[in-house]
Amino acid sequence: MPQPQDTSTKEAQLFPLRLQKFLARAGVASRRGSEDLMSAGRVTVNGEIANELGRKVDPSSDIVAVDGKVVHLGGQPVYLMLHKPKGVLTTMSDPFSRPTVAQLIPVQEHPGLFPVGRLDQDTTGLLLFTTDGDLAQELLHPRCEKEKVYVARVEGAVSGKDIKALEHGIELEDGRTAPAHAHFLQQSDAQEKRWLQQVGEPREGDSVVVLGIHEGKKHQVKRMLAALGHPVLALFRPRFATLDIGDLSEGSWRYLTEDEIAALGKLTNK
């Protein structure tokens, strides 16, 4: 797993800091009021009651909670992308203790992170995480759903007619899908050739298609292709809105660059 780079050198020099100062800075209460909360045993650090007034915390590694609710220092929102591997659920916690995306990203450091949308358990690819609820809401709003690109290895020989049908819209039980972009994967394109490695070479008679959709219906890509008689065998998402997974390896994450964050902001007029 990549090590997060220290993007907060200035802040890092200020840490660790006294717990009551941390609470005051996070806007929980005044410093005095925070001391009262601590003395009352209502504050925990990493799950343990912290009632000793000299206690120091490091916000990059300690989890502070008041009455069981995690407290965050304000600061800049966090944005990162994960290359979600197969077999992992897009949820921050699972009552059955199955593997989740939360185990692959730095939640200890950024407890407010959540995924923007979801990928099925067996789908791999780009999943955006942020602490910025406004941006997430904008990106997922049906009014401005941004293109998501999927690469699907499917059973059977997809025809030119199927490609046209995918582009025009497919009748599903919950309505017709909006116009989409669709084409056969081009091995002559270096990037698409890399995408092929992710879904695996098709067996004789099977096909690989690239599909760009603007909606987020449940299991949409699988249902669109199944409706044409081509069940999906492997599904990979290399692009989400303005983001591209590049060569980020399966299971790894990285922070978005400033340019990537600015491009998303522009897209949503934030």
Q: Of 257, 262, 216, give the one whose Cα is nearest residue 240.
A: 216
* Tokens (6 digits) for 263: 């491009």
* Residue with smaller CB distance to ligand URA, 198 or 220: 220
Q: Could you tell me the smallest distance in angstroms from the CB atom of residue 152 to ligand URA? A: 8
Out of 220, 230, 238, 239, the only residue in the binding site for ligand URA (CB under 6 A) is: 220
Peptide bond into 95 cis (omega under 30): no
Is 139 one of the binding residues for ligand URA (CB under 6 A)?
no
What distances in angstroms separate CA 17 from CA 39, 58, 75, 180, 221, one per listed residue? Answer: 18, 7, 16, 52, 49
Here's the x/- map for ligand URA, 102-131, by CB under 6 A: it reads as -----------------xx--x--------
**Stretch of residues binding ligand URA (CB under 6 A), selected from 56-64, 159-167, 218-226, 256-264:** 218-226
Count of residues that bind ligand URA according to CB under 6 A: 8
How many DSSP H helices and E strands does the chain contain?
8, 17
Active site residues: 120
* Residue with smaller CB distance to ligand URA, 72 or 217: 217
What is d(CA 203, CA 240) in angstroms, rounded to the nearest whole number?
28
Is 84 one of the binding residues for ligand URA (CB under 6 A)?
no
Out of 31, 219, 266, 270, the only residue in the binding site for ligand URA (CB under 6 A) is: 219
What distances in angstroms separate CA 163 from CA 57, 83, 207, one per listed residue? Answer: 57, 27, 12
What residues line the site for ligand URA (CB under 6 A)? Answer: 119-120, 123, 219-222, 235
